[in-house]
Amino acid sequence: MAEPSAHPARDRIAVRGLRAYGHHGVYASERRQGQSFSCDAVLEVDTRPAADTDDLQRTVNYAELSQRLYSVLAGEPVDLLETLAQRLADVCLAYELVDAVEITVHKPEADLGVPFDDVTVTIRRERRR
């Protein structure tokens, strides 16, 4: 018989395809002209307390979360997608109920000089207890 995990599997709340126009990138033209970015955020949250009580205060309000993520995506420019992903993860982890988050940042209009569909950076961060 398998031993119980020290970290039980968590439920997930996901916001996918959140889009904003931003000025992120290392090239001056990217900073000047801007381009479309999007992100996916998958939060690990124990949703049982909210489900048991039908109380929004016992879960993550994904409408509020989306507004905060949008502000980062459209906000202060950074050079690297890695930095942008970390800032988005920090927004998610600011919610006490979030145990971990996976963030994917999409930059479909990157200047690679060759045809492509998308460039992404994906990070996973856990709450430090």
In contact, 91 and 69? CB cutoff 8 Å: yes
Residue 51's SS3 state is helix
Q: Is the per-residue pLDDT at 13 higher than 80?
A: yes
CB atoms within 10 A of CB 1: 3
Q: How far apart are CA 2 and CA 14, in angstroms?
A: 29
Average pLDDT, integer, range 25-38:
95
Fold of 11-126: GTP Cyclohydrolase I, domain 2 (3.30.1130)
Instruction: Give the pLDDT band of residue 10 (cuts 50, 70, 90).
Output: confident
pLDDT of the residue at 1: 46
Alpha helices in the chain (DSSP H): 28-33, 48-53, 62-73, 81-93
Q: How far apart are CA 30 and CA 78, in angstroms?
A: 11
What does the pLDDT look like over 103-116, one tens digit per residue? Answer: 999 999 999 999 99
What is the H or E stretch that residue 13 is in? strand 11-22
Q: Is the per-residue pLDDT at 58 higher than 90?
A: yes
Per-domain residue ranges of the chain: 11-126
Q: Which amino acid appears at position 6 of this protein? A: A
Q: How far apart are CA 29 and CA 36, in angstroms?
A: 14
- The set of catalytic residues is 107
